[in-house]
Structure 1
């Protein structure tokens, strides 16, 4: 899922209740009842708008650690259950705060030593929040090779200068996993990861404003930040390769989250249409309304089908082309569902926390973690593979 992106005012995602919840489960097809029941129990009594409280509760209950049965990558089914429950009860920003950490940060820290390994253990316990600082302040978010945040290595030391913009958890993190250039050449081997304590001298943070309440979105600046040599995570030169691999998991997580959001919105919309008076019946009785709603159903079922093979796998690392297809499909499906929900609800969609505000925030699915245009260009590069033979 997304590292972070600018977005309009954050709004809580209303939790479905009663028959809303039943309709959402029916639309989703499979409830993964065991996993979801455990998550619901862990979050019972927790303020859903408090990201630290949610993160801590998931860690204390063993939910976060349980995502990684192989020790490194999240299990797709467990990840889907977590994102579905978070989407049902938390503001979008809180879900984003958790999603980035479980889908990207924790896996990138797996198999490390020293401070990085301790940070990962703290994350799994819900004690430590780590931001993913990739998008550079000086360039396009999709053009990582032009990033100007730099690290200079000395004898057992590292000095970091630069900036990262629109970073999830920036204002609330204990540390940031920072992508930095250690060589001047414009090459994928010119980058490394650094684990930078948020309280280190030379680190400053500026809030991005009201974007995604609960996500702690902000801008990080590094001015001569002096670090020990063990702040380097993994091998220098391997950072972009590791990130490219993990991007597929992030895109899968985004698709699973988008799927849950769309099911929830359609369940609530269906209930509203069936209750909304119109002439001698309700809005649901009108063929034109039913057709527009059905087109949304088709789009969501197509996203379900794209996610099905990943959900059936014990591993969450899709092929590169598959990850990009999931990313585009999720963005387009969310856009279709939220836009139609606003149109069908009319003025009611502009209530506090209504579909209009959800649509504004959900635009991130087409931007963060790879803009749709960039994804389509990548998909075209895999045309021969994706066309293939019909089997």
Structure 2
């Protein structure tokens, strides 16, 4: 009987023509040296030491923007070998935290970016507020900007990389109100006086360093502002689109891996005079999963450039909504097909619970569907000629 899926023993990726797994054949051998229990910080360090982080960006330069192909390769390689939580840690930094940090032009911002790109430090994107959730215009974390100093106060919850971060990218309001110009990014060192970190109470995502962070009158130099004052939300909107692209790419990789493992199990599990794979009902359920993943794959192929180059919010929302629905469908079906073996420690049912993140993190399904509804007329207009972008 095939071994069950486990978080600590990621399923081996399929071999290439030369007998090596894809990530090794394409330059990701550094990941093979990691222990099976490597957390997000360890994975990030390995990628940085091997010079692999910059592969996610065009021409290897973060200022030129995300390279969709390079980002997909990185996420696929990490997903093939590491836990879902560790992959989350890497994904958030690649798609959102580092591109936001790269807008900083001060020496402190450049140092933080250089350390992150080389894997010597992790960066936590502290946007979600303890009082606001996905409604960022309601956040209460504040930054008081003086002539030569800043003071940050507030609290952020459920932030990936919190317990490992060398610095936090904090989205804070610099004045009262809900206007999009009322918010600014600030780079806060994790060891600054007034910063308190607490790990989140979750075994499912411990490997991502997820936690809560409190800022109590944290005093900083004025040059810790990232980007221009008042451009916090527009900057976030640009890069949350990329994070949603990354989530959809990762969703394809995860579903493909889970389906490949499930297919091997079904093909090797005796049933009657054949195997479980011989049962028509099983084959049909599996085929329905294949269809859903191919649909998501096609959407990623269609919208990767509009999101990466033009920061298309509607395309990004489409990818986010599709990824959440597809991952949930595939993991639910595969969980059923694995039967009792799926309940082993680190098995498919645990992965299924972790994968619920795809419908919540980076904007809940309801939020992104609202964005899609707002663009209903343009989306419908784009459907009049199949094969063209809406």
Length-normalised TM-score, structure 2: 0.91
In structure 1, how many angstroms separate the alpha carbons of the residues matched to 2:21 and 2:39?
25
Alignment counterpart, residue 29 of structure 2, candidates 30, 41, 47: 41
- Pair 1:268-2:257 in alignment: no
Match of residue 52 from structure 1: 41
Stretches of structure 1 lacking an aligned partner (at least 5 in a row): 1-10
Pair 1:188–1:177, CA change in 2 (3 A):
same
Secondary structure of the residue aligned to 2:33 is coil
In structure 2, how many angstroms separate the alpha carbons of the residues matched to 1:378 and 1:337?
24
Once structures 1 and 2 are overlaid, which stretch shifts more, 123-132 or 310-319? 310-319
Consecutive aligned runs of 4 or more in structure 1 exceeding 6 Å deviation: none
The alpha carbon displacement at 1:13 in A equals: 6.4
The alpha carbon displacement at 1:14 in A equals: 4.2
Secondary structure of the residue aligned to 1:214 is helix
Match of residue 94 from structure 1: 86
Higher RCO, Cα 8 Å, sep 6+ = 1
The alpha carbon displacement at 1:36 in A equals: 5.9
Equivalent positions of 1:109-124 (< 5 A) are 109-113=101-105, 114-124=107-117
The alpha carbon displacement at 1:118 in A equals: 1.1
Checking the alignment, whether the CA contact within 8 Å between 1:150 and 1:182 is kept in structure 2 is yes
In structure 1, how many angstroms separate the alpha carbons of the residues matched to 2:92 and 2:369?
23
The alpha carbon displacement at 1:116 in A equals: 1.1
Pair 1:13–1:37, CA change in 2 (3 A):
farther
CA offsets per residue over residues 162-199 of structure 1, 9 Å max, x none?
10000000111000000000010211100000000000
The alpha carbon displacement at 1:12 in A equals: 2.0
Checking the alignment, whether the CA contact within 8 Å between 2:41 and 2:89 is kept in structure 1 is no
- Pair 1:71-2:71 in alignment: no
Match of residue 205 from structure 1: 197
CA offsets per residue over residues 2-33 of structure 1, 9 Å max, x none?
xxxxxxxxx7264333xx625xx89xxxx995
Pair 1:312–1:323, CA change in 2 (3 A):
closer
Alignment counterpart, residue 249 of structure 1, candidates 238, 242, 248: 242
Length-normalised TM-score, structure 1: 0.90
Secondary structure of the residue aligned to 1:173 is coil
In structure 1, how many angstroms separate the alpha carbons of the residues matched to 2:55 and 2:291?
33
- Pair 1:144-2:106 in alignment: no
Checking the alignment, whether the CA contact within 8 Å between 1:13 and 1:87 is kept in structure 2 is no
Pair 1:32–1:349, CA change in 2 (3 A):
closer
Secondary structure of the residue aligned to 2:366 is helix
In structure 2, how many angstroms separate the alpha carbons of the residues matched to 1:374 and 1:32?
38
- The alignment's C-alpha RMSD in Å is 2.1
Match of residue 214 from structure 1: 207
The alpha carbon displacement at 1:354 in A equals: 1.0
Matched pairs, number = 371
Checking the alignment, whether the CA contact within 8 Å between 1:47 and 1:54 is kept in structure 2 is no
In structure 2, how many angstroms separate the alpha carbons of the residues matched to 1:325 and 1:337?
18
In structure 2, how many angstroms separate the alpha carbons of the residues matched to 1:206 and 1:71?
31
CA offsets per residue over residues 78-133 of structure 1, 9 Å max, x none?
11011111111101111111111110011112242221111111111111111000
The alpha carbon displacement at 1:313 in A equals: 7.8
Secondary structure of the residue aligned to 2:151 is strand
Pair 1:314–1:154, CA change in 2 (3 A):
closer
Secondary structure of the residue aligned to 1:21 is coil
Stretches of structure 2 lacking an aligned partner (at least 5 in a row): 1-5
